Amino acid sequence: MPPWAVDAGLVALAGLDAWISLLGEGTPLMWACAAVGCAGLFLRRRLPLAVFLLTLPMTLFMDVAVAPIAALYTLAASTRNRPLLAGCALLNAAADTLVWPLPGAFTGDRTWTLVQFVYTLATAVAPVLFGQLVQARHDVARQLVEVKEAREHERALYAQTVLARERAQLAREMHDVVSHQVSLIAVRAGALQVAAKDADAREAARTIRTLSTRTLDELRHMVTLLRASGGRETELTPQPTLADLRQLVANSGIETNLAGELPTGISTTAQRTVYRTVQEALTNVRKHAPGARADVRLWHDAHHFGVTVTNTAPTRPSVALPSARHGLVGLRERAELLHGAFTAGPTPEGGYEVALRAPVRAD
């Protein structure tokens, strides 16, 4: 039930309780105290102590239970000051035991007055204990939520630890195996560049050595990144941008035509995606279409940008090279990160076409 409905029900019940007590013998002062005490229950959630004090006059003038019990319960459920709660319970019991006018309260059988005070005090202690119990229940529920969050955080830390171990193992394998092989390629290419007499052979050796050296630099950076376990202090730098695209085409070893341009101000992620798309496409041309020519076209309009890499049919038989076939899958994932699309497929002329299309404002 909504809180306002509960409060309205309590006010109505307290008013009925006071009406039954005052029926036929209530004075205007008593009716005013009853009205103030009952109406104050509307504010019991905001001002519990003040509402309890407002119920004391009606407790003194008449035999009521709903309003003081509700006020005591609300006060006990909202405060941790136990001396205050004990004092309020004693005050409520005293007001309920005394009779109006006050001089008449100290005449008659005092033993019966003491017994009545004890019973009244027990009645006042009950809502106080119940309010404290509800407060403790809320504390336990909050602590259980904190424990659950702590366990989730512990699981996340454990997962990060396992991931860090896997990254470190992968970094070791990359350093020990791949770096060694690429270093040998660079050394052999350097020796061939010095010893070769044919100009084309020296140029080919120089290209192989340059690509091997660049691959080693990128590989060392990736090893450093893996060892950092994804920490915030290590970023994916240095990373290629559109400014490196012409150098990529020039060093590809393929007759390539680069045309068009992309809009200024696109994100570094988008620039890196375009670069990797062209890089993977040219790599596939070298591997699977020897002797083919490639055409790289950059384009953009008011809402989208993209790149299309098209190669002609191969003029020489291809050499079987190892491939995990993950290149195009990775390009498709990069395009999805930009909320774009990636397509790849053969052309009617026997070549192959790779295309990337993404929104201009993609991050």
DSSP state of 176: I
Q: Looking at this protein, which amino acid is placed at residue 101?
A: P
Contacts of 173 (CB under 8 A, 6+ apart): none
pLDDT in tens, the chain (363 residues): 888 888 888 889 888 888 888 877 778 888 888 888 888 888 888 899 998 888 888 888 888 888 899 999 999 988 889 899 898 888 888 887 876 555 555 555 667 677 878 888 888 888 999 999 999 999 999 999 999 999 999 998 888 888 888 877 777 777 666 776 777 788 888 888 888 888 888 888 888 888 888 887 777 777 777 766 554 444 445 577 888 888 888 887 788 999 999 888 888 889 989 999 998 898 888 888 888 999 999 999 988 999 999 999 988 887 665 555 667 888 888 899 899 999 999 999 889 999 999 998 644
Cα–Cα distance measured from residue 70 to residue 7, given in angstroms and rounded to the nearest whole number = 10
Alpha carbon separation from 186 to 208, 309, 320 (Å, rounded): 7, 29, 22
Detail the DSSP E strand segments found in the chain.
256-260, 294-300, 304-311, 341-346, 352-359
Residue 280 contacts residue 311 (beta carbons within 8 Å) = no
Characterize the bridge pairing of strands 341-346 and 304-311: unpaired
Cα–Cα distance measured from residue 4 to residue 11, given in angstroms and rounded to the nearest whole number = 10
What is the chain's alpha carbon radius of gyration, rounded to the nearest angstrom? Answer: 42
DSSP states along 245-301: HHHHHHTSSS-EEEEE---TT--HHHHHHHHHHHHHHHHHHHHHSTT--EEEEEEE-
Q: Which two tokens stand for residue 317?
A: 């038989």
Q: Which two tokens stand for residue 131?
A: 């309010």
Alpha carbon separation from 319 to 185, 189, 219, 351 (Å, rounded): 18, 20, 25, 17
Residue 61 contacts residue 32 (beta carbons within 8 Å) = no
Q: Which of 289, 294, 292 is nearest to 317 (CA)?
A: 289
Q: Looking at this protein, which amino acid is placed at residue 130?
A: F
Q: Which two tokens stand for residue 82?
A: 């136990």
Reduced to 3 states (helix: H, G, I; strand: E, B; else coil), residue 314 is: coil
Q: What is the 3-state secondary structure (H, E, C) of 104-133?
A: HHHCCCHHHHHHHHHHHHHHHHHHHHHHHH
DSSP state of 80: -
How much is the pLDDT for 234?
A: 45
